[in-house]
Structure 1
Amino acid sequence: MSAPAIDPVRTPVPSAAVRKAAEPRRATPARFDTALGWSDRPSAAWALRILLCAIALGIFAAPFLTIVSGAFSTHASGSSLSFLPRDSTMLNFRVAGERGIWDYFTNSLVIAGGALLLQLAVSVLAAYALARHRFCGQALILTLFMLTMMLPEEVIAIPLSLVLGHVPVVGLDLKGTAWGVILPLGAWGFSVMLLTEFMKDIPTEIEEAARLDGVGEFRMLWQIVLPLCKPALGVAGVLGFVMIWDQYLLPLIAAKDPTDYTVTVALSILRTDPEVGSGVVLAGALIALVPSLIVYLLLQRSLVTGIAAGATKG
């Protein structure tokens, strides 16, 4: 008696829907979406947003273009709006140089560079202690840093002038020196608070693993914490430089002689000089504007990344 024949197993034929789902998906072009809800399809709302952006760009760009055109114009006027130079010339920069603008510019560079380095060093050390350690009086110290941000410069101008003239304990007279401007700017509450909040988000597991390998405090800060805080350092660097570069009252009260002034104070002197015109003042303003633009362009990526990280935190 022969065994019954066994039919071979038939492979089920996939349906059209299954075959379509199994096919590799083609990459679809990304839409041009922004926070304003833009799309790549022209419409009335799309045109309205373009118009609003053009108006905003004109409002912010008009002063800058006026400074550039007036600095290179023979007959510049601060009350007229002009985007193109009239009778282009370099005479305004030469007259500004004769009035000592480059000496004031050098003073500003020395003060801004020294104060920014000192400010970042103090902010990093203070933020590391406040964020990664617990000690008595920590809340009080944080409150004091916040209070320093609420005091206007005019309130502390006279006491600061007296202190700079005779520093307590050591009895030094810092007026007329770069240190008279650098030291008061060496600590800024905003950068301390910014770095403190950023360092608090660093996982404790990283620190614990590093300590098991015998990493000390200084190495922990230099090789582990600081590389993770590059975006926050970029924000603190850009905003700190702009704050220091735009100082007006502090260089004025810390100076003993007009040669000690910075470029911001020199611009007010040029403006009141009856022998120079608006073109010379605009040329000096353009010279004073260049360092801030350079610092922003160099640290733009870190600035945007740091702001984005702060916006999405939590």
Structure 2
Amino acid sequence: MSDRAVRTLFSGNREGIGYKIAFTVTFVVFTAAFVLPFLWLVMGAMKPAVELAQVPPTILPRTWHPGNYTEAWHLMDLGKYFLNTVVVVAGAWAVQLLVDVPAAYALSKLRPVLGNGVLALMLVTLMLPPSTLLVPMYLTITDLPVLGVNLVNNPAAIWLPAAANAFNIYLLKRFFDQIPTELLDAARMDGAGAVTVLWRVVLPMARPILAVVSILSVVAAWKDFIWPLLVFSDPALQTLSVALQRFAPDTPINLLLAGLVLAALPMIAVFLAFQRHILAGLTAGSVKG
């Protein structure tokens, strides 16, 4: 029996009508699931508060009020909270790279004693619900071991717990495993130490995965809510997600929606700008010699 005879409606034929229908339906469903809620948010932010409360709701605003975005920006002083969030995100990103990259390099290429056991313990932490770690983490930052300092209302309370990210270490290690050992041995024969090899050989080759880890770190820190809520008791130091929640009870719903849109735009821009880097980094499975 020929290969053509055993083909199904969808398999192996991307020009067939069945494949096109399945692809189109899947694309439309998933696009609607992700895009329509955001479009409703954008449109709702440009409606008057009275129109938002109408039943049934309107799809498009009867009267457009794009000035709601400007009013929300000034009413909630979002500029200050954007700056707070940028400081927290930039520090969390930098600290994660400083910790995760050397840790993954050591586990992959330096082969420390009990390295596999350490990696296994790191991966076990991914199975724990994040809520179970809140209390021990909070007790730790209120009385930092050895130093004995209180990091409440300090951005370092966000940066330090984010530093040892098991998922990022795993991604980096898997990429470093693909780098031929011969390249590193050649650098060592030329007199390069472990740090020099990491800096001059490994990191230039690891740009795709470094981009992925950076984007994941930035997005996670930007959208985090529970931990910043516990850490920043001073309203003036709060991040954008926490500040919007605090303003919610006393802010008109249309202005609150406008604030949510403004808070989401930076991460949407990051994704649109770097989506190719994300796919390239996640699919990088080999390094050419």
What TM-score comes out, normalization by structure 2 length? 0.86
Q: Residues of 2 paired with 1:36 and 1:268: CA distance?
A: 50
- Aligned mate of 2:160, from 183, 207, 217: 183
For structure 1, list consecutive stretches of 5 or more residues without a partner in the other structure: 1-33
Q: Check the 8 A contact 2:45/2:68 in 1, yes or no.
A: no
Q: 1:102–1:155: structure 2 CA closer, same or farther, 3 Å change rule?
A: same
Q: What amino acid does structure 1 have at the position aligned with 2:218?
A: F
Q: Check the 8 A contact 1:69/1:85 in 2, yes or no.
A: no
- The secondary structure found in structure 1 opposite 2:162 is coil
The question of 1:226 aligning with 2:203 is answered: yes
Displacement, 1:192? Answer: 0.4
Larger radius of gyration, structure 1 or 2?
1
Q: Which residue of 2 aligns with 1:290?
A: 265
Map 1:60-71; keep pairs closer than 5 Å: 60-71=34-45
Q: 1:52–1:159: structure 2 CA closer, same or farther, 3 Å change rule?
A: closer
Q: Which residue of 2 aligns with 1:18?
A: none
Q: Which residue of 2 aligns with 1:255?
A: 232
Cα offsets for 1:84-132 (capped at 9, x unmatched): 6842231343234322322222111110011011101211110110000
Q: Which residue of 1 aligns with 2:176?
A: 199
Displacement, 1:298? Answer: 3.3
Q: Which residue of 1 aligns with 2:281?
A: 306
The question of 1:121 aligning with 2:95 is answered: no
Identity %: 31
Cα offsets for 1:60-88 (capped at 9, x unmatched): 11011112222233346389473668422
- The secondary structure found in structure 2 opposite 1:296 is helix
The question of 1:135 aligning with 2:109 is answered: no
Map 1:69-148; keep pairs closer than 5 Å: 69-75=43-49, 77=52, 80=57, 82=59, 86-148=63-125
Q: 1:204–1:99: structure 2 CA closer, same or farther, 3 Å change rule?
A: same
Q: Which residue of 2 aligns with 1:3?
A: none
Q: What amino acid does structure 1 have at the position aligned with 2:138?
A: S
Q: Which residue of 1 aligns with 2:4?
A: none
Displacement, 1:187? Answer: 1.9
Which structure shows the bigger proportion of residues in helix conformation? 2
Q: Which residue of 1 aligns with 2:30?
A: 56
Displacement, 1:36? Answer: 8.8
Q: What amino acid does structure 2 have at the position aligned with 1:110?
A: V
Q: What amino acid does structure 2 have at the position aligned with 1:290?
A: L
Q: Check the 8 A contact 2:92/2:162 in 1, yes or no.
A: yes
Q: Check the 8 A contact 1:157/1:250 in 2, yes or no.
A: yes
What TM-score comes out, normalization by structure 1 length? 0.79
* More off after superposition, 302-311 vs 122-131: 302-311
Map 1:40-51; keep pairs closer than 5 Å: 43=17, 45-51=19-25
Cα offsets for 1:264-292 (capped at 9, x unmatched): 1122223222xx22211211111111221
Q: 1:85–1:286: structure 2 CA closer, same or farther, 3 Å change rule?
A: farther
- The secondary structure found in structure 2 opposite 1:299 is helix
- The secondary structure found in structure 2 opposite 1:82 is coil
Q: Which residue of 1 aligns with 2:3?
A: none
Q: What amino acid does structure 2 have at the position aligned with 1:232?
A: I
Q: Check the 8 A contact 1:131/1:199 in 2, yes or no.
A: yes
Q: 1:172–1:94: structure 2 CA closer, same or farther, 3 Å change rule?
A: same
Q: Which residue of 2 aligns with 1:235?
A: 212
Q: How many residues align?
A: 275
Q: Residues of 2 paired with 1:244 and 1:219: CA distance?
A: 30
Displacement, 1:310? Answer: 4.7
Q: What amino acid does structure 2 have at the position aligned with 1:134?
A: R
For structure 2, list consecutive stretches of 5 or more residues without a partner in the other structure: 1-9
Displacement, 1:51? Answer: 3.5
The question of 1:38 aligning with 2:33 is answered: no
Q: Which residue of 1 aligns with 2:137?
A: 160
Higher relative CO (Cα under 8 Å, sequence separation at least 6) belongs to 2
Aligned Cα root-mean-square deviation (Å) = 2.6
